[in-house]
Protein backbone atom coordinates (compact mmCIF):
# COMPACT_ATOMS: atom_id res chain seq x y z
CA UNK A 1 0.00 0.00 0.00
CA UNK A 2 1.48 3.28 -1.11
CA UNK A 3 1.70 5.89 1.60
CA UNK A 4 0.13 9.27 1.00
CA UNK A 5 0.72 12.58 2.69
CA UNK A 6 -2.19 14.97 2.85
CA UNK A 7 -0.63 17.26 0.25
CA UNK A 8 -0.57 14.36 -2.19
CA UNK A 9 -4.35 14.47 -1.85
CA UNK A 10 -4.79 18.25 -1.58
CA UNK A 11 -2.11 19.11 -4.05
CA UNK A 12 -0.08 19.88 -5.88
CA UNK A 13 -0.93 23.54 -6.22
CA UNK A 14 -0.50 23.60 -9.97
CA UNK A 15 -1.16 25.28 -13.29
CA UNK A 16 -3.89 23.41 -15.15
CA UNK A 17 -5.02 21.53 -17.04
CA UNK A 18 -2.96 18.40 -16.43
CA UNK A 19 0.20 17.65 -14.55
CA UNK A 20 1.81 15.65 -17.35
CA UNK A 21 1.08 18.28 -19.99
CA UNK A 22 1.68 21.40 -17.92
CA UNK A 23 4.04 20.73 -15.00
CA UNK A 24 5.86 17.93 -16.82
CA UNK A 25 6.30 19.96 -20.00
CA UNK A 26 7.43 23.07 -18.12
CA UNK A 27 9.98 21.01 -16.22
CA UNK A 28 11.23 19.45 -19.47
CA UNK A 29 11.72 22.88 -21.00
CA UNK A 30 13.38 24.27 -17.91
CA UNK A 31 15.65 21.26 -17.56
CA UNK A 32 16.72 21.63 -21.21
CA UNK A 33 17.49 25.30 -20.59
CA UNK A 34 19.55 24.39 -17.52
CA UNK A 35 21.58 21.90 -19.52
CA UNK A 36 22.05 23.99 -22.66
CA UNK A 37 23.78 27.31 -23.01
CA UNK A 38 21.01 29.88 -22.87
CA UNK A 39 22.27 32.36 -25.42
CA UNK A 40 20.01 30.70 -28.00
CA UNK A 41 18.01 32.77 -30.49
CA UNK A 42 15.74 29.99 -31.64
CA UNK A 43 14.18 26.85 -30.17
CA UNK A 44 12.58 24.08 -32.20
CA UNK A 45 10.36 21.54 -30.46
CA UNK A 46 9.85 18.16 -32.15
CA UNK A 47 6.73 16.67 -30.57
CA UNK A 48 6.18 12.94 -30.50
CA UNK A 49 3.21 10.67 -29.73
CA UNK A 50 0.38 12.19 -27.74
CA UNK A 51 2.41 15.37 -27.28
CA UNK A 52 2.17 15.78 -31.05
CA UNK A 53 -1.54 15.03 -31.17
CA UNK A 54 -2.74 17.08 -28.22
CA UNK A 55 -0.24 19.83 -27.58
CA UNK A 56 -2.47 22.72 -28.59
CA UNK A 57 -5.51 21.63 -26.62
CA UNK A 58 -3.53 20.87 -23.49
CA UNK A 59 -1.36 23.96 -23.70
CA UNK A 60 1.76 21.79 -23.87
CA UNK A 61 3.29 24.27 -26.33
CA UNK A 62 2.95 27.13 -23.84
CA UNK A 63 4.29 25.00 -21.00
CA UNK A 64 7.38 23.95 -22.98
CA UNK A 65 8.12 27.52 -24.01
CA UNK A 66 7.61 28.72 -20.43
CA UNK A 67 10.19 26.17 -19.38
CA UNK A 68 12.83 27.25 -21.87
CA UNK A 69 12.22 30.83 -20.69
CA UNK A 70 13.09 29.65 -17.19
CA UNK A 71 9.65 29.70 -15.60
CA UNK A 72 8.71 27.39 -12.74
CA UNK A 73 5.80 24.94 -13.18
CA UNK A 74 3.70 27.05 -10.77
CA UNK A 75 4.16 30.29 -12.74
CA UNK A 76 0.87 31.88 -13.77
CA UNK A 77 2.54 33.48 -16.80
CA UNK A 78 2.82 30.05 -18.46
CA UNK A 79 -0.33 30.71 -20.48
CA UNK A 80 1.27 33.85 -21.96
CA UNK A 81 4.66 32.30 -22.65
CA UNK A 82 4.34 32.36 -26.45
CA UNK A 83 3.92 36.14 -26.36
CA UNK A 84 6.68 36.56 -23.80
CA UNK A 85 9.06 34.63 -26.06
CA UNK A 86 8.09 36.88 -28.96
CA UNK A 87 8.76 39.99 -26.88
CA UNK A 88 12.17 38.62 -26.01
CA UNK A 89 12.89 38.03 -29.68
CA UNK A 90 13.24 34.27 -29.30
CA UNK A 91 12.01 32.33 -32.33
CA UNK A 92 9.87 29.30 -31.55
CA UNK A 93 8.86 26.47 -33.84
CA UNK A 94 6.79 23.34 -33.23
CA UNK A 95 7.11 20.30 -35.49
CA UNK A 96 5.12 17.10 -35.10
CA UNK A 97 7.46 14.19 -35.65
CA UNK A 98 7.70 10.48 -34.96
CA UNK A 99 10.86 10.28 -32.89
CA UNK A 100 10.67 6.52 -32.55
CA UNK A 101 10.88 6.75 -28.78
CA UNK A 102 8.41 4.62 -26.97
CA UNK A 103 7.03 7.04 -24.38
CA UNK A 104 4.02 8.89 -25.83
CA UNK A 105 4.80 12.27 -24.27
CA UNK A 106 8.25 12.86 -25.69
CA UNK A 107 9.86 16.03 -27.03
CA UNK A 108 13.16 16.82 -28.69
CA UNK A 109 14.19 20.39 -27.90
CA UNK A 110 16.75 21.90 -30.27
CA UNK A 111 18.47 25.17 -29.36
CA UNK A 112 19.99 27.26 -32.16
CA UNK A 113 22.80 29.79 -31.70
CA UNK A 114 24.31 32.47 -33.92
CA UNK A 115 27.86 31.58 -32.99
CA UNK A 116 27.84 27.80 -32.65
CA UNK A 117 26.23 24.49 -33.54
CA UNK A 118 22.72 23.48 -32.51
CA UNK A 119 22.36 21.65 -29.21
CA UNK A 120 19.51 19.32 -28.28
CA UNK A 121 17.85 17.50 -25.41
CA UNK A 122 15.28 14.70 -25.55
CA UNK A 123 12.95 13.95 -22.66
CA UNK A 124 9.56 12.57 -21.72
CA UNK A 125 6.80 13.62 -19.38
CA UNK A 126 6.06 10.35 -17.60
CA UNK A 127 3.07 11.32 -15.45
CA UNK A 128 2.25 13.36 -12.37
CA UNK A 129 4.70 16.07 -13.43
CA UNK A 130 7.64 13.66 -13.45
CA UNK A 131 10.11 13.73 -16.32
CA UNK A 132 12.90 11.64 -17.74
CA UNK A 133 15.75 13.10 -19.78
CA UNK A 134 16.97 10.46 -22.23
CA UNK A 135 19.38 12.18 -24.60
CA UNK A 136 21.66 15.16 -24.18
CA UNK A 137 23.08 16.19 -27.54
CA UNK A 138 23.70 12.64 -28.65
CA UNK A 139 24.63 11.25 -25.23
CA UNK A 140 22.18 8.55 -24.19
CA UNK A 141 21.32 9.29 -20.57
CA UNK A 142 18.55 8.64 -18.09
CA UNK A 143 17.79 10.97 -15.23
CA UNK A 144 14.73 12.48 -13.61
CA UNK A 145 15.98 15.86 -12.46
CA UNK A 146 14.44 15.17 -9.05
CA UNK A 147 17.90 15.22 -7.49
CA UNK A 148 20.90 17.46 -8.03
CA UNK A 149 22.44 15.96 -11.18
CA UNK A 150 25.90 16.40 -12.67
CA UNK A 151 26.47 15.57 -16.33
CA UNK A 152 30.06 15.18 -17.48
CA UNK A 153 31.62 14.27 -20.85
CA UNK A 154 35.27 13.42 -20.74
CA UNK A 155 38.04 11.63 -22.57
CA UNK A 156 38.21 8.32 -20.79
CA UNK A 157 41.52 7.78 -19.03
CA UNK A 158 42.69 5.56 -16.26
CA UNK A 159 41.57 6.99 -12.92
CA UNK A 160 39.08 9.51 -14.30
CA UNK A 161 36.19 8.28 -12.19
CA UNK A 162 38.22 8.30 -9.01
CA UNK A 163 39.58 11.80 -9.72
CA UNK A 164 36.04 13.08 -10.16
CA UNK A 165 34.62 11.30 -7.14
CA UNK A 166 37.47 12.39 -4.89
CA UNK A 167 36.68 16.04 -5.66
CA UNK A 168 33.14 15.39 -4.48
CA UNK A 169 34.35 13.50 -1.40
CA UNK A 170 36.58 16.41 -0.47
CA UNK A 171 33.52 18.67 -0.51
CA UNK A 172 31.70 16.13 1.66
CA UNK A 173 29.21 15.31 -1.06
CA UNK A 174 27.61 11.91 -1.27
CA UNK A 175 26.98 10.34 -4.68
CA UNK A 176 23.55 8.73 -4.75
CA UNK A 177 23.72 7.16 -8.22
CA UNK A 178 26.29 7.13 -10.99
CA UNK A 179 25.97 5.93 -14.59
CA UNK A 180 28.80 5.92 -17.10
CA UNK A 181 28.46 5.09 -20.78
CA UNK A 182 31.15 5.21 -23.44
CA UNK A 183 31.37 5.75 -27.14
CA UNK A 184 34.89 5.35 -28.46
CA UNK A 185 37.15 7.35 -26.18
CA UNK A 186 34.42 9.69 -24.99
CA UNK A 187 32.63 8.80 -21.76
CA UNK A 188 29.43 10.32 -20.44
CA UNK A 189 28.79 10.29 -16.73
CA UNK A 190 25.53 11.10 -14.99
CA UNK A 191 25.67 11.49 -11.25
CA UNK A 192 22.86 12.20 -8.85
CA UNK A 193 24.11 13.62 -5.58
CA UNK A 194 22.57 14.26 -2.19
CA UNK A 195 23.46 17.96 -1.82
CA UNK A 196 22.64 21.00 -3.92
CA UNK A 197 25.29 21.67 -6.57
CA UNK A 198 27.56 24.66 -6.01
CA UNK A 199 29.66 26.40 -8.66
CA UNK A 200 33.00 25.60 -7.04
CA UNK A 201 32.40 21.86 -7.38
CA UNK A 202 31.63 22.21 -11.07
CA UNK A 203 34.70 24.44 -11.56
CA UNK A 204 37.00 22.05 -9.72
CA UNK A 205 35.89 19.12 -11.84
CA UNK A 206 36.05 21.22 -15.01
CA UNK A 207 39.72 21.89 -14.24
CA UNK A 208 40.62 18.23 -14.72
CA UNK A 209 42.44 17.74 -18.03
CA UNK A 210 40.14 15.10 -19.47
CA UNK A 211 36.89 17.05 -19.09
CA UNK A 212 35.20 18.10 -22.34
CA UNK A 213 31.94 19.28 -20.92
CA UNK A 214 30.28 19.53 -17.52
CA UNK A 215 27.02 20.89 -16.27
CA UNK A 216 25.26 20.78 -12.91
CA UNK A 217 21.48 20.76 -12.70
CA UNK A 218 19.66 21.48 -9.47
CA UNK A 219 16.17 20.03 -9.10
CA UNK A 220 13.17 21.89 -10.48
CA UNK A 221 10.12 22.20 -8.26
CA UNK A 222 6.64 20.94 -9.14
CA UNK B 1 -1.74 5.46 12.14
CA UNK B 2 -4.69 4.54 9.93
CA UNK B 3 -5.19 2.92 6.54
CA UNK B 4 -8.88 2.14 6.69
CA UNK B 5 -11.92 4.21 7.54
CA UNK B 6 -12.71 1.91 10.43
CA UNK B 7 -9.27 2.57 11.93
CA UNK B 8 -9.68 6.32 11.66
CA UNK B 9 -13.16 6.07 13.16
CA UNK B 10 -11.83 4.05 16.10
CA UNK B 11 -9.01 6.49 16.72
CA UNK B 12 -11.52 9.33 16.84
CA UNK B 13 -13.81 7.42 19.21
CA UNK B 14 -11.24 6.15 21.65
CA UNK B 15 -9.44 9.48 21.85
CA UNK B 16 -12.55 11.61 21.62
CA UNK B 17 -11.21 13.60 18.69
CA UNK B 18 -12.53 14.87 15.41
CA UNK B 19 -11.28 13.50 12.10
CA UNK B 20 -9.34 16.67 11.31
CA UNK B 21 -7.48 16.50 14.62
CA UNK B 22 -6.27 12.95 13.99
CA UNK B 23 -5.27 13.84 10.42
CA UNK B 24 -3.24 16.81 11.66
CA UNK B 25 -1.50 14.66 14.25
CA UNK B 26 -0.67 12.00 11.71
CA UNK B 27 0.72 14.47 9.19
CA UNK B 28 2.94 16.18 11.77
CA UNK B 29 4.22 12.78 12.75
CA UNK B 30 4.77 11.43 9.23
CA UNK B 31 6.06 14.51 7.46
CA UNK B 32 8.15 15.66 10.40
CA UNK B 33 6.96 19.23 10.17
CA UNK B 34 5.80 21.67 12.81
CA UNK B 35 2.19 22.57 13.48
CA UNK B 36 2.84 26.09 12.17
CA UNK B 37 4.37 24.84 8.92
CA UNK B 38 1.47 22.49 8.38
CA UNK B 39 -1.04 25.28 8.93
CA UNK B 40 0.90 27.59 6.61
CA UNK B 41 0.87 24.98 3.88
CA UNK B 42 -2.84 24.36 4.28
CA UNK B 43 -3.50 28.10 4.28
CA UNK B 44 -1.79 28.49 0.94
CA UNK B 45 -3.84 25.57 -0.41
CA UNK B 46 -7.00 27.32 0.79
CA UNK B 47 -5.92 30.67 -0.69
CA UNK B 48 -5.45 29.08 -4.11
CA UNK B 49 -8.82 27.35 -3.78
CA UNK B 50 -10.63 30.56 -2.88
CA UNK B 51 -9.08 32.34 -5.85
CA UNK B 52 -9.92 29.63 -8.36
CA UNK B 53 -13.49 29.23 -7.07
CA UNK B 54 -14.16 32.95 -7.65
CA UNK B 55 -11.97 33.89 -10.61
CA UNK B 56 -14.40 32.88 -13.37
CA UNK B 57 -17.60 34.20 -11.74
CA UNK B 58 -17.53 37.77 -12.97
CA UNK B 59 -15.57 37.41 -16.19
CA UNK B 60 -15.90 34.63 -18.69
CA UNK B 61 -12.82 32.38 -18.71
CA UNK B 62 -12.26 30.44 -21.93
CA UNK B 63 -10.17 27.27 -22.10
CA UNK B 64 -6.87 27.03 -23.95
CA UNK B 65 -8.41 24.65 -26.49
CA UNK B 66 -11.39 26.94 -27.02
CA UNK B 67 -13.75 24.01 -26.40
CA UNK B 68 -15.41 25.42 -23.29
CA UNK B 69 -15.67 28.31 -20.87
CA UNK B 70 -17.84 31.14 -19.65
CA UNK B 71 -20.29 28.81 -17.92
CA UNK B 72 -19.36 29.76 -14.35
CA UNK B 73 -20.30 33.34 -15.13
CA UNK B 74 -23.59 32.26 -16.75
CA UNK B 75 -24.39 30.24 -13.66
CA UNK B 76 -23.52 33.07 -11.30
CA UNK B 77 -25.59 35.58 -13.29
CA UNK B 78 -28.53 33.18 -13.34
CA UNK B 79 -28.28 32.69 -9.59
CA UNK B 80 -28.14 36.43 -9.02
CA UNK B 81 -31.47 36.86 -10.78
CA UNK B 82 -32.85 34.95 -7.82
CA UNK B 83 -35.37 32.80 -9.61
CA UNK B 84 -33.76 29.37 -9.62
CA UNK B 85 -35.29 25.95 -9.13
CA UNK B 86 -32.80 24.54 -6.67
CA UNK B 87 -32.07 27.68 -4.68
CA UNK B 88 -29.26 30.14 -4.08
CA UNK B 89 -26.90 27.82 -2.24
CA UNK B 90 -26.91 25.04 -4.81
CA UNK B 91 -26.69 27.40 -7.77
CA UNK B 92 -23.91 29.40 -6.17
CA UNK B 93 -22.01 26.21 -5.36
CA UNK B 94 -22.31 24.99 -8.95
CA UNK B 95 -21.00 28.33 -10.20
CA UNK B 96 -17.96 28.09 -7.91
CA UNK B 97 -17.22 24.50 -8.96
CA UNK B 98 -17.44 25.52 -12.62
CA UNK B 99 -15.13 28.44 -11.88
CA UNK B 100 -12.27 26.27 -10.65
CA UNK B 101 -12.76 23.86 -13.56
CA UNK B 102 -12.57 26.75 -16.02
CA UNK B 103 -9.51 28.22 -14.34
CA UNK B 104 -7.88 24.81 -14.67
CA UNK B 105 -8.74 24.48 -18.37
CA UNK B 106 -7.39 27.97 -19.05
CA UNK B 107 -3.99 27.18 -17.52
CA UNK B 108 -4.71 29.03 -14.31
CA UNK B 109 -3.62 28.02 -10.82
CA UNK B 110 -5.63 25.36 -8.98
CA UNK B 111 -5.16 22.75 -6.27
CA UNK B 112 -5.50 19.15 -7.41
CA UNK B 113 -8.15 17.82 -5.00
CA UNK B 114 -7.56 14.98 -5.37
CA UNK B 115 -6.88 15.55 -9.10
CA UNK B 116 -6.94 18.53 -11.45
CA UNK B 117 -10.03 17.17 -13.20
CA UNK B 118 -12.04 17.09 -9.99
CA UNK B 119 -10.49 20.21 -8.50
CA UNK B 120 -13.71 22.26 -8.47
CA UNK B 121 -15.71 20.20 -6.01
CA UNK B 122 -14.01 20.55 -2.63
CA UNK B 123 -13.26 24.30 -2.76
CA UNK B 124 -16.83 25.09 -3.72
CA UNK B 125 -18.23 22.83 -1.00
CA UNK B 126 -16.30 24.30 1.88
CA UNK B 127 -16.60 27.92 0.72
CA UNK B 128 -20.35 27.62 0.08
CA UNK B 129 -21.02 26.05 3.45
CA UNK B 130 -18.83 28.58 5.22
CA UNK B 131 -20.77 31.42 3.59
CA UNK B 132 -24.19 30.00 4.32
CA UNK B 133 -23.48 29.24 7.98
CA UNK B 134 -21.14 32.13 8.69
CA UNK B 135 -18.33 29.83 9.70
CA UNK B 136 -14.73 30.93 10.26
CA UNK B 137 -11.63 30.65 8.12
CA UNK B 138 -10.42 28.07 10.62
CA UNK B 139 -13.49 25.94 10.08
CA UNK B 140 -12.60 25.77 6.39
CA UNK B 141 -9.04 24.74 7.23
CA UNK B 142 -10.36 22.02 9.50
CA UNK B 143 -12.70 20.88 6.75
CA UNK B 144 -9.74 20.54 4.39
CA UNK B 145 -7.94 18.28 6.85
CA UNK B 146 -11.05 16.13 7.23
CA UNK B 147 -11.33 15.91 3.45
CA UNK B 148 -7.66 15.00 3.11
CA UNK B 149 -8.08 12.14 5.59
CA UNK B 150 -10.96 10.65 3.60
CA UNK B 151 -9.12 11.13 0.32
CA UNK B 152 -6.05 9.44 1.69
CA UNK B 153 -8.04 6.36 2.68
CA UNK B 154 -9.63 6.13 -0.77
CA UNK B 155 -6.27 6.62 -2.50
CA UNK B 156 -4.69 3.89 -0.39
CA UNK B 157 -7.44 1.32 -0.68
CA UNK B 158 -8.77 2.07 -4.14
CA UNK B 159 -7.70 4.70 -6.68
CA UNK B 160 -8.20 8.41 -7.31
CA UNK B 161 -7.26 8.28 -10.99
CA UNK B 162 -9.79 8.44 -13.81
CA UNK B 163 -7.51 6.36 -16.02
CA UNK B 164 -7.62 3.59 -13.44
CA UNK B 165 -11.10 3.81 -11.96
CA UNK B 166 -13.24 6.13 -14.07
CA UNK B 167 -14.75 9.42 -12.98
CA UNK B 168 -16.22 7.82 -9.85
CA UNK B 169 -12.62 7.66 -8.66
CA UNK B 170 -11.93 11.35 -9.36
CA UNK B 171 -15.15 13.30 -8.97
CA UNK B 172 -16.59 10.59 -6.72
CA UNK B 173 -13.65 10.79 -4.36
CA UNK B 174 -13.75 14.59 -4.35
CA UNK B 175 -17.46 14.53 -3.47
CA UNK B 176 -16.87 11.96 -0.79
CA UNK B 177 -14.10 14.05 0.74
CA UNK B 178 -16.26 17.16 0.57
CA UNK B 179 -19.28 15.47 2.13
CA UNK B 180 -17.26 14.31 5.14
CA UNK B 181 -15.75 17.76 5.49
CA UNK B 182 -19.11 19.53 5.43
CA UNK B 183 -20.58 17.19 8.03
CA UNK B 184 -17.70 17.83 10.38
CA UNK B 185 -17.69 21.57 9.74
CA UNK B 186 -21.35 21.64 10.78
CA UNK B 187 -20.74 19.72 13.99
CA UNK B 188 -21.89 16.28 12.86
CA UNK B 189 -20.50 13.15 14.48
CA UNK B 190 -17.56 11.18 13.12
CA UNK B 191 -19.97 8.41 12.10
CA UNK B 192 -22.08 10.94 10.25
CA UNK B 193 -19.00 12.16 8.38
CA UNK B 194 -18.27 8.64 7.19
CA UNK B 195 -21.92 8.16 6.26
CA UNK B 196 -21.78 11.30 4.17
CA UNK B 197 -18.57 10.12 2.53
CA UNK B 198 -20.20 6.77 1.73
CA UNK B 199 -23.35 8.33 0.30
CA UNK B 200 -21.43 10.58 -2.06
CA UNK B 201 -19.45 7.64 -3.43
CA UNK B 202 -22.36 5.30 -3.85
CA UNK B 203 -24.54 7.99 -5.43
CA UNK B 204 -22.27 8.13 -8.45
CA UNK B 205 -20.80 4.64 -8.39
CA UNK B 206 -20.01 3.46 -11.90
CA UNK B 207 -19.49 6.92 -13.37
CA UNK B 208 -17.18 6.60 -16.36
CA UNK B 209 -14.37 8.90 -17.51
CA UNK B 210 -15.01 10.13 -21.04
CA UNK B 211 -13.58 13.58 -21.70
CA UNK B 212 -14.00 14.93 -25.23
CA UNK B 213 -10.66 14.90 -27.07
CA UNK B 214 -9.03 13.80 -23.82
CA UNK B 215 -9.23 17.36 -22.53
CA UNK B 216 -10.39 17.92 -18.96
CA UNK B 217 -13.34 20.10 -19.99
CA UNK B 218 -16.54 18.41 -21.15
CA UNK B 219 -18.21 16.65 -19.34
CA UNK B 220 -15.66 17.29 -16.57
CA UNK B 221 -16.75 20.80 -15.56
CA UNK B 222 -20.40 19.71 -15.38
CA UNK B 223 -19.41 16.79 -13.20
CA UNK B 224 -17.68 19.18 -10.86
CA UNK B 225 -20.93 21.14 -10.64
CA UNK B 226 -23.00 18.03 -9.97
CA UNK B 227 -20.23 16.71 -7.72
CA UNK B 228 -20.49 19.56 -5.26
CA UNK B 229 -24.26 19.16 -5.16
CA UNK B 230 -23.75 15.45 -4.54
CA UNK B 231 -21.49 16.35 -1.61
CA UNK B 232 -24.04 18.73 -0.12
CA UNK B 233 -27.02 16.39 -0.36
CA UNK B 234 -24.91 13.51 0.96
CA UNK B 235 -23.97 15.66 3.95
CA UNK B 236 -27.64 16.53 4.51
CA UNK B 237 -28.63 12.86 4.33
CA UNK B 238 -25.96 12.04 6.89
CA UNK B 239 -26.80 14.96 9.18
CA UNK B 240 -30.44 13.84 9.10
CA UNK B 241 -29.20 10.74 10.88
CA UNK B 242 -29.49 8.29 7.99
CA UNK B 243 -27.05 5.41 8.29
CA UNK B 244 -25.08 3.86 5.48
CA UNK B 245 -26.03 0.21 5.86
CA UNK B 246 -22.81 -0.72 4.04
CA UNK B 247 -19.79 0.74 5.87
CA UNK B 248 -17.45 3.24 4.21
CA UNK B 249 -14.53 0.83 3.71
CA UNK B 250 -16.75 -1.62 1.84
CA UNK B 251 -18.15 1.16 -0.32
CA UNK B 252 -14.57 2.16 -1.20
CA UNK B 253 -13.70 -1.45 -2.08
CA UNK B 254 -16.79 -1.71 -4.24
CA UNK B 255 -15.87 1.49 -6.08
CA UNK B 256 -12.41 0.09 -6.75
CA UNK B 257 -13.77 -3.20 -8.09
CA UNK B 258 -16.24 -1.39 -10.30
CA UNK B 259 -13.42 0.78 -11.62
CA UNK B 260 -11.24 -2.19 -12.41
CA UNK B 261 -14.01 -3.93 -14.29
CA UNK B 262 -14.66 -0.91 -16.51
CA UNK B 263 -13.44 -1.41 -20.06
CA UNK B 264 -10.48 0.74 -20.99
CA UNK B 265 -12.61 2.72 -23.43
CA UNK B 266 -14.40 4.22 -20.43
CA UNK B 267 -11.29 5.16 -18.49
CA UNK B 268 -9.89 8.46 -19.77
CA UNK B 269 -8.95 7.14 -23.20
CA UNK B 270 -11.59 9.34 -24.85
CA UNK B 271 -12.75 6.25 -26.79
CA UNK B 272 -16.16 5.82 -25.16
CA UNK B 273 -19.08 7.61 -23.57
CA UNK B 274 -19.50 11.30 -24.36
CA UNK B 275 -16.08 11.47 -26.01
CA UNK B 276 -17.12 8.87 -28.60
CA UNK B 277 -20.38 10.54 -29.65
CA UNK B 278 -20.44 11.90 -33.22
CA UNK B 279 -20.23 15.43 -31.84
CA UNK B 280 -17.45 14.47 -29.44
CA UNK B 281 -15.50 12.96 -32.33
CA UNK B 282 -16.11 15.96 -34.54
CA UNK B 283 -14.85 18.36 -31.85
CA UNK B 284 -11.83 16.20 -31.31
CA UNK B 285 -10.92 16.40 -35.00
CA UNK B 286 -11.39 20.15 -34.93
CA UNK B 287 -9.29 20.79 -31.83
CA UNK B 288 -6.47 18.29 -32.16
S1 LIG C 1 -14.51 12.61 -16.89
FE2 LIG C 1 -12.44 11.85 -16.55
S3 LIG C 1 -11.08 13.58 -16.98
FE4 LIG C 1 -13.17 14.38 -16.65
S5 LIG C 1 -13.26 14.88 -14.46
FE6 LIG C 1 -14.08 12.83 -14.71
S7 LIG C 1 -12.30 11.52 -14.33
FE8 LIG C 1 -11.47 13.56 -14.74
Instruction: Dump pLDDT digits (tens) for A50-87.
Output: 888 888 888 999 999 999 999 998 999 999 999 999 99
Report the DSSP pairing between strands A13-15 and B109-111.
antiparallel
| Domain co-membership, A132 together with A185 | no
pLDDT (tens place) for every residue of chain B, 288 residues total: 899 999 999 999 999 999 999 999 999 999 999 999 999 999 999 999 999 999 999 999 999 999 999 999 999 999 999 999 999 999 999 999 999 999 999 999 999 999 999 999 999 999 999 999 999 999 999 999 999 999 999 999 999 999 899 999 999 999 999 999 999 999 999 999 999 999 999 999 999 999 999 999 999 999 999 999 999 999 999 999 999 999 999 999 999 999 999 999 999 888 999 999 999 999 999 987
Q: DSSP of B243-275, one letter per residue?
A: --SS-HHHHHHHHHHHHHHS-GGGBTSSSSGGG
Q: What is the CATH number of the domain that holds B228?
A: 1.10.4100
Domain range spanning residue B62? 5-287
Any domain includes A10: yes
| Domain co-membership, A192 together with A154 | yes
| Domain co-membership, A25 together with A121 | yes
| Domain co-membership, A32 together with A116 | yes
Q: Exposure of A113 by Cβ count < 10 A (0-12 exposed, 13-18 middle, 19+ buried)?
A: middle
Closest ligand 1 atom number to CA of residue B169: 7
Mutate one of A10, A11, A80 to test the B interface: name it (highest B CB count within 10 A). A10
Domain range spanning residue A52? 6-137
| Domain co-membership, A67 together with A130 | yes
The predicted model scores a pTM of: 0.89
Q: Kindly provide the b/e burial profile for residues B205-221, where b requires at least 16 CB atoms within 10 angstroms of the residue's own CB.
A: ebbbbbbbbbbbbbbbb
Distance from CA of B220 to the nearest CA of A (A): 11
Q: Whose CA is nearest to atom 3 of ligand 1?
A: B216
Query: Among the residues of B56-185, which ranges form H helices?
Result: 71-80, 87-105, 121-133, 137-157, 162-165, 167, 173-185
| Ligand 1 within 6 A of CB of B105 | no
Number of domains in chain A: 2
Nearest to B112 among A2, A6, A12 (CB): A12
Any domain includes A144: no
**Which portions of chain A are predicted below pLDDT 70?**
1-2, 221-222
| Residues of chain B with C-beta less than 8 angstroms from the C-beta of A12 | 111-112
Any domain includes A1: no
Number of domains in chain B: 1
Distance from CA of A197 to the nearest CA of B (A): 25
Domain finish residue from A137, A168, A199: A137
Any domain includes A143: no
pLDDT at A54: 83
| Domain co-membership, A153 together with A114 | no
Per-residue pLDDT reduced to its tens digit, A81-93: 999 999 999 999 9
| Domain co-membership, A167 together with A89 | no
* CA A83 centroid distance within chain: 23
Mutate one of A1, A5, A6, A61 to test the B interface: name it (highest B CB count within 10 A). A6
Closest ligand 1 atom number to CA of residue B116: 8
- Please answer yes or no on whether A76 and B109 come within 8 Å at the CB atom: yes
| Ligand 1 within 6 A of CB of B267 | no
pLDDT at B5: 98
Any domain includes A212: yes
pLDDT at B265: 94
Q: What is the CATH number of the domain that holds A74?
A: 3.30.1330.90
pLDDT at A222: 60
- Please answer whether residues A152 and A211 qualify as being in contact, where contact means their C-beta atoms are separated by less than 8 angstroms: yes
pLDDT at A49: 86
Q: What is the CATH number of the domain that holds A205?
A: 3.30.70.260
Domain finish residue from A137, A169, A204: A137
- Please answer yes or no on whether B155 and A56 come within 8 Å at the CB atom: no
- Please answer yes or no on whether A10 and B65 come within 8 Å at the CB atom: no
| Residues of chain A with C-beta less than 8 angstroms from the C-beta of B145 | 6
Q: Whose CA is nearest to atom 8 of ligand 1?
A: B117
What ipTM was reported for this prediction? 0.94
Amino acid sequence: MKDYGIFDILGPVMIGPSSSHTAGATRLGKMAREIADNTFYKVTFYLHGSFAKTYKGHGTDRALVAGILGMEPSDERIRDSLNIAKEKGIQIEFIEKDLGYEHPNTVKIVFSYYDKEDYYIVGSSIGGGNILITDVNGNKVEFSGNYPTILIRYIDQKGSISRISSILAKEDINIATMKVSREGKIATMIMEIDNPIKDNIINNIANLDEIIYITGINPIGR
Amino acid sequence: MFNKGSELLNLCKTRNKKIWEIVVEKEIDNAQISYEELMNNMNSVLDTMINSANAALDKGVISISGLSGGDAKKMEDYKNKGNTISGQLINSAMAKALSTSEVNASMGKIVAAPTAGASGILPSAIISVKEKFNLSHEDMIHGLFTAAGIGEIIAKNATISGAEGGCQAECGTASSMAAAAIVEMLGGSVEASFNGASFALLNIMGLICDPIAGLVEFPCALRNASGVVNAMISADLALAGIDSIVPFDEVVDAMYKVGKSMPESLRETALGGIAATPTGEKLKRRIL
